[in-house]
Chain A
Amino acid sequence: MHGVDSRALQARAYLAQRHRWRLGEALPWALAIAAFFAFPNSVFVGTQVLILVLFALSLDLILGYAGIVTLGHAAFFGIGAYAAGGLSAHLGWNEPLSGLLFAGVCAGVIGVVSGAILLRYHGLALIMLTLAMGIMLQEAGNAWDSFTGGYDGLYGIKPAPLLGRFENDLYGYHYYWYALIVLLLMFLLSRRVVHSPFGASLLGIRENPARMPAIGCAVLWRKIVVYTLSAFMAGLAGGLFAQSNAYVTLEVFSFARSGTVLIVLILGGTGRLYGAFLGGAIYYLLEHNLAKLSPEFWQFGVGLVLLGVVSLRHNGLLGLQEHLLQRIRRRT
């Protein structure tokens, strides 16, 4: 009996130690706040970067922790965007916070249903199923253009002031804070989840999907739970996108968007939550500077950087940084 107790204590200490806050974790948030004051003319773009980070964070939960490879994550972003957009444009419900929650819940519901079906598959079949699912939604949206506005887009999204006070002003100042607070809340939730025993079991599923059922872990059920959470967060990102742009087109469902969020996460590094932040910032800086030269440079540059990151095999830039730090420590 005594042995079991001490092992349980050890496990608890391990989880608590992983969950402890480190000083460096304040850095991205400090930078996000500093960026608001340093670049007052780019606040709207900054909001879009925060939305991209939230979207990438949602992908990290399923890809980085549970090892689920998807090429159709934009499906949930798109559902969130059209849920928040449609609620305002078609039904006249303009209160933004409840609209955002509605976006997340809609995406989450689709997440449960599609996850319960898709997550039984793996490998090429899963990749193709997620890919086809995303494009199917895009095509369905095109056919149902009375609701979606087709490729011309859905106009007439008029979010009311936040909390009845803060309007979506011309520079998007209020929406920057709105997006940052939503991102912070979702980050805290994600951090809590991945550091819990449930999160540890996800890592087990990622590392060895055959052994986990052998030790009595319900793999499918856990995958569905994390998939739903991820879909909910992607839906929030889509909802924020619709509200901040006051405009949605079918592009939200596109393969390009699913590919972009994957690249963002891979650049930063998977399975460490902060990869989404670093990847989102770097992707934006690359896009901003290379696309100015020419769109081809930008596309070629993204391809080259991606090929480089994958070739290095250190799991993105954060993984590379960790690797280099370890080497320096070993030498000293």
Chain B
Amino acid sequence: MLHALTSILFDGLAYAMMLFVISVGLSITMGLMGFINLAHGVFAMAGGYVTVLLMYDAGVPFFVSLSVAFVSVAAASVLAERLIYARFYDSSELDQVLMSIALVFMAIATCTYLFGPDPLPMQLPPYLKGQVELGFRSFPTYRFFLICVGFVMIALLVLVFDKTLIGARIRAAVDNRAMAQSVGIDVRRLFTLTFAVGSGFAALGGGLAIDIVGLQPTFAIQYLVQFLIVVAVGGLGSIRGAFAAALIIGIVENAGKYLWPEGGGFFIYAITVVLLLLRPEGLYGKG
């Protein structure tokens, strides 16, 4: 019983960290521009493919591959933001939804064409395989590593957000864009920057997620709903909110699948509906 409970918590925590790393950028960019972006999963998927291809075709070490994924996807996302997204900032939410769904379709088709529809294999470096002993029982090393990455990231992000000038600017712009602009903050540039970093995080998360959920072209749509849930339930533009929501979704998802394999997927959607009905602006949202 205790064994099952610790497994649920541990795996749920690892899953939550993956969700958080991928979704946090989406939460900030949606909070800044109010842009409903359903294509965020594409950046995570792109990160996954960059990681796998570098490791297999070029023999690049795991961490170097992840870094390259971060940088390359961040750079590509700036292009996408300037060339495509920028044209839809003043559009209706429906047009934003449609335009980003169109990007998802095109990305999935391109990846299927290039890499085939089947999941690509992922071989972790030896030091991340096996089990790690934590005193009372052992856990998979990779999941333990994921949890550590997640905690380091939330700590860093909170620090940047709460203590630096750029963090203060982002908070100001999320709170009130017009007011932030009128005191001289260049919200457009701030947005491009957060969009790039957020997409980079998504790519990093995509690379980290392969060992947990696999990597195939449908990744971009299969997990999209969970990323969106993290953002909506957490509240737009809130790092703490995204973290709290990722924890709830990660643990409920794992508990559901563990305790009731046939119907376990039901619970995260049920809990999402309940939370959104009670707090439509999200746990940490303004309003």
Give me the interface of A with B, judged by CB distance under 8 Å.
Answer: 63, 69, 71, 117, 121, 123-125, 127-129, 131-133, 135-136, 139-140, 142-145, 255, 259, 262-263, 266, 294-300, 302-304, 306-307, 310-311, 313
Q: Complex Cα distance A303/B91, Å?
A: 18
Extra A-B contacts (8), CB below 8 Å, given A63-B94, A121-B280, A300-B105: A127-B97, A129-B277, A142-B262, A296-B109, A299-B108, A303-B103, A303-B106, A307-B102
Q: Does B272 touch A at the CB level, under 8 Å? A: yes
Interface SS majority for chain B: helix
A102, chain B: closest CB distance, angstroms: 25
Over the window 193-235 of chain B, the binary record of Cβ atoms lying under 8 Å from chain A Cβ atoms (1 yes, 0 no) is 0000000000000000000000000000100010011001000
A71, chain B: closest CB distance, angstroms: 7
Please count the residue pairs between chain A and chain B whose beta carbons lie under 8 angstroms apart in the complex. 117
Q: Does B270 touch A at the CB level, under 8 Å? A: yes
Interface SS majority for chain A: helix
B residues near A262, Cβ cutoff 8 Å: 98
Q: Complex Cα distance A262/B38, Å?
A: 15
Closest 7 pairs between A and B when the two form their complex, measured CB to CB = A143-B263, A303-B105, A300-B109, A303-B106, A125-B280, A299-B109, A139-B266
Q: Complex Cα distance A139/B265, Å?
A: 6
Q: How many residues of B are counted as interface, with CB atoms below 8 angstroms from the partner's CB atoms?
A: 41
Within 8 A of A (CB), among B55-96: 87-88, 91, 93-95
B residues near A304, Cβ cutoff 8 Å: 102, 106
Q: Complex Cα distance A263/B232, Å?
A: 23
- Contact call A306/B262, Cβ cutoff below 8 A: no
Partner of B273, one of A71, A129, A266: A129
A residues near B265, Cβ cutoff 8 Å: 139, 142
B residues near A266, Cβ cutoff 8 Å: 98
- Contact call B113/A124, Cβ cutoff below 8 A: no
Q: Does B132 touch A at the CB level, under 8 Å? A: no
Partner of A133, one of B30, B112, B229, B273: B273
Over the window 253-287 of chain B, the binary record of Cβ atoms lying under 8 Å from chain A Cβ atoms (1 yes, 0 no) is 00000001011011001101100110011000000
Partner of B105, one of A124, A129, A299: A299
Over the window 177-196 of chain B, the binary record of Cβ atoms lying under 8 Å from chain A Cβ atoms (1 yes, 0 no) is 00000000000000000000
- Contact call A128/B228, Cβ cutoff below 8 A: yes
A279, chain B: closest CB distance, angstroms: 13
Q: Does B101 touch A at the CB level, under 8 Å? A: yes
Q: Does B32 touch A at the CB level, under 8 Å? A: no
Q: What are 23 pairs between A and B in contact, CB < 8 Å?
A: A71-B97, A125-B232, A129-B276, A129-B277, A131-B225, A132-B229, A135-B269, A136-B270, A139-B266, A142-B263, A143-B260, A143-B262, A143-B263, A263-B98, A294-B113, A295-B112, A299-B112, A300-B106, A300-B113, A303-B104, A304-B102, A310-B99, A313-B91
